[in-house]
Structure 1
């Protein structure tokens, strides 16, 4: 009898969890559509949905175990698709500039946090990790901003995309480095493993960037009429490479990324990409949902000063660093400013680095919550920061002598819209208030009339003598 009760409770609990997950997915769709209507990347909507329905807000989903498993698969698919989508031929044209910018970004970020480690008494591993986290930019958000601004195919846009590609390729060695740091340092075996993995990646990129197409011996299997085998084979490419990488003592993400590079430069690219893209979109939605679910609003509120200070410092520092590095490498000011501002946010790979760091013991979960909070806020405010920074850059041309001029250039349109909206809302509120007062007076009048004594009724003529 007791066992039956326990089984029933477990079934009800599982049903409740699945219902919560279904509600979160629907909310993610609605928030993603809302962000697209606002001309923002849908991934921001996914994170917002996760924050609103997560344990720290409405608590629709409390058990994150089921979603975390799908999110980890989403990470592998993300790296697999990014490997397929990397345009090595375009990267080859500006690889020296892009690699130099990315390298200087990473070096300067690590140097800054190494200096801060003396102030906050951080260990060296923490400084290295934070340098990696801050150096990464969001490929999805940056490209969306470039598309909306019409700058994607300009010189500045191509530089920004080239730097993003360089960062995407650097994330795998970063993850390997963080994992090695968690093992207590660099011994001979881990050093050889890391060096071999990086050498293989560099050699593969160099070979594939020569423009040769790999002929993989699977076209007949891909072209089979059994439609269910196509997506399964696409997933098998990704997960089998990830499994081999894990068995060799490397990161599973490394194997997925290398597999994506190989497929992306082979005769199977179009077929595999068409099969895997819908699956990747769903798993990526789950990944960014899980990030939103991990946000602890109470933690953010309790540490709001520290979160905002780090966010401001990182955003301003990264913008100045990007602009300075690109300008130092010989690019005109307008190109340096545009490219530098677009790359100012912290990227989604920072979540992966923080996760690897927690798993390997480099940082405690408490620090991971801080990294996640700052990264999510950086992604959410990135479009506004880009718009503001570009307008402030226009002051050099238009001129600004007073604080009022600066405010007008930076947020004049938004301020005017806000004032208009406030005026309309005030008028509607005042009109509603007048109607309520009139209705209240009308009710009082009716009640007063009811309390008055009724006039005497006229006598019936038949009753008169």
Structure 2
């Protein structure tokens, strides 16, 4: 049966990829198909799903800045959204109960509150996968979305404690000892080197923290998240995250399959699930409106709200606990499972067109933006530097240093990660924070002063998006980009990028050229 799961997951994932949709939608379809054919999930699938969620939360923590959770645009947005959403959704459910719509007719106020609460959360798995697939985890809207999700996860854990009656034991205070042994953990991570022990170390810490928190009656997934945050400052945090990436993606297939296995729907249930999905537009409107009121740029607010416009797998957990306590009928578990799955499909589909849609209707969205914005979103252009390097990773910083050594033409760097920009600025590097995929960003600066834009971005889709925004804003200079493979290089050249470098091939050429200089200098000495 395990092979059947793999076969269906691969086939459905490949099928949706051919129509330019994320494979995770195919995995959801595979789960429903297997369920329809009579297959049942067993413990191995649940184990894979749990492993995937634990690793995902751990890797989120590795990339999370704890200070960001205390920003108004994170905690206040999450709090206001939950309160307003529950009031509105409760009212809608009661109206449907009054008109005696099927399954709503017998809902009392307690049940309506539970359903509204279950639907208030956005899916951590869906949103993180969405951001990762689009290379937007470290963008302004990506970090906002993740911060809001973490706040929601904390609320979720609090509900589980209340609903299950599982209160932390007195030994939970012993977890404070982690602060004292952190230097030992850091030295251990450093000692393991860069080989196969790195992913094993990641598993050890993630699963170890899960078990440790479970021992003191605290949700283990919360322990994995906290431990990831705890180790986020370690120099190898990024390396551990990359080492776990493939494992996490593989295990999360089990999660998407399990959603399909959880539902045995009727046509009536599908209709009610679709009805619930319609209120996602309210979720988007609330997130967008609150973020704009808190002085977030309209594009950032739009992308954050769109990414969070789905229902969460946590809704199924709430529903399952409610069914066990006889607060909710079992049929509602199936309806909510369908609504969650459909919301995943809708979010993944709509987000593929998010950037182009915003570019087309940016004037409409701009009218909701406040006249003043947060200090983090302001930008002061360096006027004497005609070269900008977009993306300050290893390749981008290599290009920046090479241009500085050349000495004739100054350059500045642009990156969406504020923490990285702050760190580089302290080193004397002209680094600035900004989202290069934002059309308004390029419209707010003087493009006439720019002669060359270097796109040191890992994904082709990002380079194409930035180039599109540059050209639409009226940029007339040259654009260079990097590619990893020959087909990517061809795609960028056909798109109109002036110069494309295959950095694997170019690294080999540079290595050979500089090495040959050793022979030249040697011959000079011998003569």
Q: Give the TM-score of the pair, scaled to structure 1.
A: 0.62
TM superposition shift of 1:355: 5.0
TM superposition shift of 1:125: 6.8
TM superposition shift of 1:144: 3.5
Partner Cα separation in structure 1 for residue 347 and residue 287 of structure 2: 15
Out of 229-238 and 111-120, give the one that drifted further: 111-120
Residue in 1 aligned with 2:84?
A: 108
Helix, strand or coil for the counterpart of 1:265? coil
Say which of 101, 106, 113 aligns to 1:127. Answer: 113
Partner Cα separation in structure 2 for residue 226 and residue 98 of structure 1: 35
Partner Cα separation in structure 2 for residue 218 and residue 375 of structure 1: 39
The answer (yes or no) to whether the contact 1:117–1:124 under 8 Å persists in 2 is no
Residue in 2 aligned with 1:162?
A: 144
Q: What do the CA deviations read for 1:76-120 (whole angstroms, capped 9, x no partner)? A: 22222222232447x37x922122211211111222344456554
* Alpha-carbon spacing, 1:76–1:28, altered in 2? closer, same or farther (3 Å): same
Higher relative contact order (CA 8 A, sep 6+): 1
Say which of 7, 26, 32 aligns to 1:45. Answer: 26
Q: What do the CA deviations read for 1:313-355 (whole angstroms, capped 9, x no partner)? A: 2x12112212221232234555544443333222444445545
Residue in 1 aligned with 2:511?
A: none
Q: What do the CA deviations read for 1:40-92 (whole angstroms, capped 9, x no partner)? A: 3332222122222x222x33x32433312332232222222222232447x37
Residue in 2 aligned with 1:430?
A: none
Residue in 2 aligned with 1:376?
A: 341
The answer (yes or no) to whether the contact 1:327–1:333 under 8 Å persists in 2 is yes
Partner Cα separation in structure 1 for residue 242 and residue 284 of structure 2: 36
The reply on whether 1:272 has 2:220 as its aligned counterpart is no
TM superposition shift of 1:146: 9.4
Say which of 325, 337, 340 aligns to 2:290. Answer: 325
Helix, strand or coil for the counterpart of 1:134? coil
The answer (yes or no) to whether the contact 1:138–1:345 under 8 Å persists in 2 is no
Residue in 1 aligned with 2:210?
A: 242
Q: What do the CA deviations read for 1:417-436 (whole angstroms, capped 9, x no partner)? A: xxxxxxxxxxxxxxxxxxxx
Helix, strand or coil for the counterpart of 2:35? coil
Say which of 294, 299, 306 aligns to 2:272. Answer: 306
* Alpha-carbon spacing, 1:21–1:82, altered in 2? closer, same or farther (3 Å): same
Partner Cα separation in structure 2 for residue 224 and residue 384 of structure 1: 41
The answer (yes or no) to whether the contact 1:126–1:363 under 8 Å persists in 2 is no
Aligned 1:386-397 pairs, distance under 5 A: 386=351, 387=353, 391=357
* Alpha-carbon spacing, 1:334–1:225, altered in 2? closer, same or farther (3 Å): closer
Residue in 2 aligned with 1:14?
A: none
Aligned 1:51-130 pairs, distance under 5 A: 51-52=32-33, 54-56=34-36, 58-59=37-38, 61-88=39-66, 91=68, 95-115=71-91, 120=97, 121-122=107-108, 124=110, 127-128=113-114, 130=116
Q: What stretches of structure 2 of length at least 5 have no aligned partner? A: 98-106, 365-527
Residue in 2 aligned with 1:439?
A: none
Partner Cα separation in structure 1 for residue 226 and residue 29 of structure 2: 31
Q: What stretches of structure 1 of length at least 5 have no aligned partner? A: 1-19, 184-188, 209-213, 399-465
Helix, strand or coil for the counterpart of 1:32? helix
TM superposition shift of 1:227: 6.3
Larger radius of gyration: 1
Residue in 2 aligned with 1:28?
A: 9
Aligned residue pair count: 352
Q: What do the CA deviations read for 1:426-458 (whole angstroms, capped 9, x no partner)? A: xxxxxxxxxxxxxxxxxxxxxxxxxxxxxxxxx
Superposition CA RMSD, Å: 4.2
Helix, strand or coil for the counterpart of 2:234? coil
Partner Cα separation in structure 1 for residue 331 and residue 19 of structure 2: 33
TM superposition shift of 1:224: 4.8
* Alpha-carbon spacing, 1:390–1:41, altered in 2? closer, same or farther (3 Å): same
* Alpha-carbon spacing, 1:363–1:279, altered in 2? closer, same or farther (3 Å): farther
Q: Give the TM-score of the pair, scaled to structure 2.
A: 0.56
Helix, strand or coil for the counterpart of 2:231? helix
Partner Cα separation in structure 2 for residue 170 and residue 200 of structure 1: 25
The reply on whether 1:261 has 2:239 as its aligned counterpart is no
TM superposition shift of 1:152: 7.5
Partner Cα separation in structure 2 for residue 152 and residue 234 of structure 1: 20
Where is the helix percentage greater, Structure 1 or Structure 2? 1
Partner Cα separation in structure 1 for residue 170 and residue 49 of structure 2: 29
